[in-house]
Amino acid sequence: MSYDNTSVRLTLLGDEAAALGALHAGISASYGYPGTPSTEILEYLIAEYEKGGPVSRWCANEKTALEAALGVSFSGRRSLVTMKHVGLNVASDPFINGSLLGIKGGLVVAVADDPGMHSSQNEQDSRFYAAFALIPCLEPRNQQEVYDMTREAFDVSERFQTPVLLRLTTRLSHARAEIRLSEELPQCQNSRVPQNPLSKAEDKSRWMLLPAFARRNYRDLIAKQPALEEWACSHQANKLEPQTAGKDGAAEWDESFAVITAGLGGNYYEENLADLTAARQGKAPVRLHIGAYPLPRASIRRLCEKARQVLIIEEGQPFIEERLRGILPQGLTVLGKLDGTVPRTGELDPDNTRLSLGLPRRPSAIGAESVLSGGQTRRPAVDISALPGRPPQLCAGCPHGDSYETIKQALSGLDPASVAVNSDIGCYSLGAQPPYSVPESIVCMGASVGMAKGASDAGLPYTVAVIGDSTFLHSGIPGLIDAAAADIPMTVVILDNAIVAMTGCQDTILPSSRLRELILGIGVAPEHILELEAKKQFIEENAARLRKEIEYRGLSVVVFKRECLEAARKKRKK
C-alpha cells in the first residue's frame, strides 16, 4: 500500500493515530478498559461513535473487551481492542486461545507498554505475549507508522487468520506528530469507511477449542510460522542497511559491527548516527531495524555475516537480544541489556543510547554562562536533577483523603501486628503516601480483596481491603465471591467516587446506585453492607461504624460515597 501521494495531513497523538488507522481500516467495533498510556485510543473512537461512527465501548475489564472483539470477528467484521501492558495479563486467556481460532474479521489488539513505569506497576514487554501466542506483532516507531501499521494489521489478521498485536509505548502514545492520509481514502478524517459484510464463521470447529479441534488448530498455527517469518523478512519496517551486505559503497559501512534497533530505539540511534560515523572514521555500522515480528531470522543472519559484535537497542525488555543466541554463531559478541551496555530498566532516550554506542556525553550547558547576540549573557540553566522530588498526591479535597482518615481512626488502638490493610490500583493507592500512609500492600487490580482473604485465612484477626468502584467492577467481584462463600472475617472498603478517575474520568461500567444490589447478589448479609458519605464532618461517626464492621467476625462491605472533584469540575465545564 503506497502512502506517497497524499493531500490530507493531521497532527495527532500516537494513540489518536492508532484510532484513526482503525477507523480507516473499516472497523465495526472497538472495546477496551482505561489504562495509561492507552486510554486516548478508545476515547477518540468513542467520540466518533457518538457522532455516528462504529460501536465503541469501555468494558468491565480487558478480558471482557477482548472476548467481545472475538464475537465481532466471529461475525466476519473487524474489531480493535485497547489496553495497557498489564491489562494484557487480564486478557491473556482469550488472547492466547485466540491464536488458535479461525479469525474471520480482522482482530487487532493495541497494547501500550510503559517503560519507566510512569503510571504502572511493572515494565513488562508485550512482544513476549505475541511470541508466546505465535502471532504477528507490529511495532511502529513514529506516529505515521502507528497509523499505517494499524490499518495494515487488519489485513494481516485476515490473511493469517490470527489476532495481531500492535505494540505502542508511552512516548509514542503521548507525543504528537503530523501524519499523512492516503488519497485512496475519503478526504475527511470522520468519513465512514466501508465495513466487512456481516458473515458468520461457517466452520464451527475453528471456533470451538475442544481438545480434538484445538490440537488440529494448534498444528495449523505451527504450520503458519514459516509464512509469518517470510512476511516479517520482507516487511518494509524491517529495513536492512545497506540493503546488501558488502554492497552499496562498502567503504562507508563497517561490517564488523552490526546494530539491531527496534521501536523508538531506531529513532534514538539515528539521532546519534552522524556522531557515531564521525567517531568511526566515516564508517557506519551495518544495521537492521525491526518493526514487524516474528523475528526476521534470515535478515538477522544476513546482517551479521561478517560481524564480530552486534549491539541491540530496543525499547523495553531484551526480547530480541535473548533470542539471538539461537540465531547467530556462538563466537559473535552480543551487546545489549543483558550485559549492561544498554540500560536494563527505564526508558531509552537519545542520551543513554549515545552512551551505549560508545560515544561521550553531549556537552552540557548546565552551570555555564553563554553569550547571546548583542553581548548579553544567559543565566546558567537549572539542573533539574538537583530539584527536590514531588511525588504524586491526592487532589486537595479528594474524598479519598476523608475515607483514609476514617480508616486510620477506625484502626487506632488495634495492635498493628494484628491488622492488614491491602489496597488496589487507582487514585486511592496514593493513600500509601504521607500524610495518610494507610495501605500496606498494592499489587494489581483486584488483589486487595484476595489478599485480605488470604491474610484472614493465615490468622490475622483484622483484615481490610481498599478498592475503588471501577476496580471492584473490573476484578474485585470474584475475590468477594470467594470471601462470601466462606464468610471470611474481613472488611471490603469500596471507595466510590462514581468515576474512573486516574485515567481521565471515564464513566464506570455500572452506576454507583447499582453497587449495593450487586453486593447483595454475591451473598453479603444486608445488615453488613454500609453506605457512608465520605465527608470530614462525618469522620468520627463513620469511623465508629467502620470499626464495628472490622471487629465483626464475618464478611462486611463498607462503601464510602462521594463524587470525584475533578469529575465534578469537568461536568460543570460541559
pLDDT score for 231: 97
pLDDT score for 428: 83
Confidence check: pLDDT of 2 > 80: no
**Options 3.40.50.1980, 3.40.50.970, 3.40.630.30, 2.30.30.30; which CATH number does 6-234 get?**
3.40.50.970
> What is the residue-wise DSSP string for 108-126?
EEEEEE-TT-SSSS----T
User: Which pLDDT band, with edges at 50, 70 and 90, does 5 fall under?
Assistant: very low
Q: Which CATH class is domain 239-356?
A: alpha beta
Positive or negative, the Cα torsion across 447, 449, 454, 455?
positive
User: Which pLDDT band, with edges at 50, 70 and 90, does 206 fall under?
Assistant: very high
CB within 8 Å of 557: residues ≥ 6 apart: 480, 491, 492, 493, 494, 519, 524, 528, 529, 530
513 vs 30, residue with greater confidence: 30
96: buried, middle or exposed (CB in 10 Å: 19+, 13-18, 0-12)?
Answer: middle
User: Which pLDDT band, with edges at 50, 70 and 90, does 121 fall under?
Assistant: confident
* Nearest alpha-carbon partner for 18 in 134, 148, 139: 148
Confidence check: pLDDT of 369 > 70: no
251 vs 192, residue with greater confidence: 192
What is the SS3 assignment for 364?
coil
364 vs 379, residue with greater confidence: 364
Q: Are the C-beta atoms of 559 and 529 separated by less than 8 Å?
A: yes
pLDDT score for 378: 45
91: buried, middle or exposed (CB in 10 Å: 19+, 13-18, 0-12)?
Answer: buried
- Dist. CA 411–CA 424, nearest whole Å: 19
User: Which pLDDT band, with edges at 50, 70 and 90, does 461 fall under?
Assistant: very high
User: Which pLDDT band, with edges at 50, 70 and 90, does 119 fall under?
Assistant: confident
Q: Where in the chain is the domain with CATH 3.40.50.970?
A: 6-234, 399-571
The structural architecture, per CATH, of the domain 399-571 is 3-Layer(aba) Sandwich (3.40)
Q: Are the C-beta atoms of 394 and 434 separated by less than 8 Å?
A: no
Confidence check: pLDDT of 174 > 60: yes
pLDDT score for 501: 78
Host H or E run for residue 265: helix 264-279
- Dist. CA 137–CA 262, nearest whole Å: 12
User: Which pLDDT band, with edges at 50, 70 and 90, does 376 fall under?
Assistant: very low
Confidence check: pLDDT of 496 > 70: yes
Helix axes 539-551, 399-411, angle to 10 degrees: 50
Q: List, for residues 391-436, the tens digit of each pLDDT value.
A: 778 888 888 889 999 999 999 999 999 999 999 888 888 888 888 8
2 vs 143, residue with greater confidence: 143
85-94, 119-128, 143-152: the lowest-pLDDT one: 119-128
Please give the mean pLDDT across all residues of the chain: 88
pLDDT score for 186: 54
- Dist. CA 422–CA 443, nearest whole Å: 9
Stretch 152-181: mean pLDDT: 96
- Residue 434: asked if its preceding bond is cis (omega within 30°), the reply is no
Q: List, for residues 51-102, the tens digit of each pLDDT value.
A: 999 999 998 899 999 999 999 999 999 999 999 999 999 999 999 999 999 9
- Dist. CA 201–CA 204, nearest whole Å: 7
Confidence check: pLDDT of 383 > 60: no
Distance of CA 188 to the CA centre of its chain: 29
Positive or negative, the Cα torsion across 535, 540, 543, 544?
negative
381 vs 454, residue with greater confidence: 454
pLDDT score for 389: 66
Confidence check: pLDDT of 187 > 70: no
Q: Are the C-beta atoms of 32 and 38 separated by less than 8 Å?
A: yes
pLDDT score for 365: 41
Confidence check: pLDDT of 366 > 50: no
Positive or negative, the Cα torsion across 38, 43, 44, 46?
positive
- Dist. CA 483–CA 506, nearest whole Å: 29
Q: List, for residues 226-278, the tens digit of each pLDDT value.
A: 999 999 999 999 999 885 544 444 448 899 999 999 999 999 999 999 999 99
Confidence check: pLDDT of 216 > 80: yes
pLDDT score for 553: 96
Q: Enter the DSSP assignment of 287.
A: E
Stretch 527-534: mean pLDDT: 95
User: Which pLDDT band, with edges at 50, 70 and 90, does 373 fall under?
Assistant: very low
Helix axes 477-486, 515-522, angle to 10 degrees: 40
**Length, in residues, of the chain:** 574
Confidence check: pLDDT of 340 > 80: yes
* Residue 165 vs residues 80, 105, 233, 399: alpha-carbon distances, Å: 10, 15, 17, 38
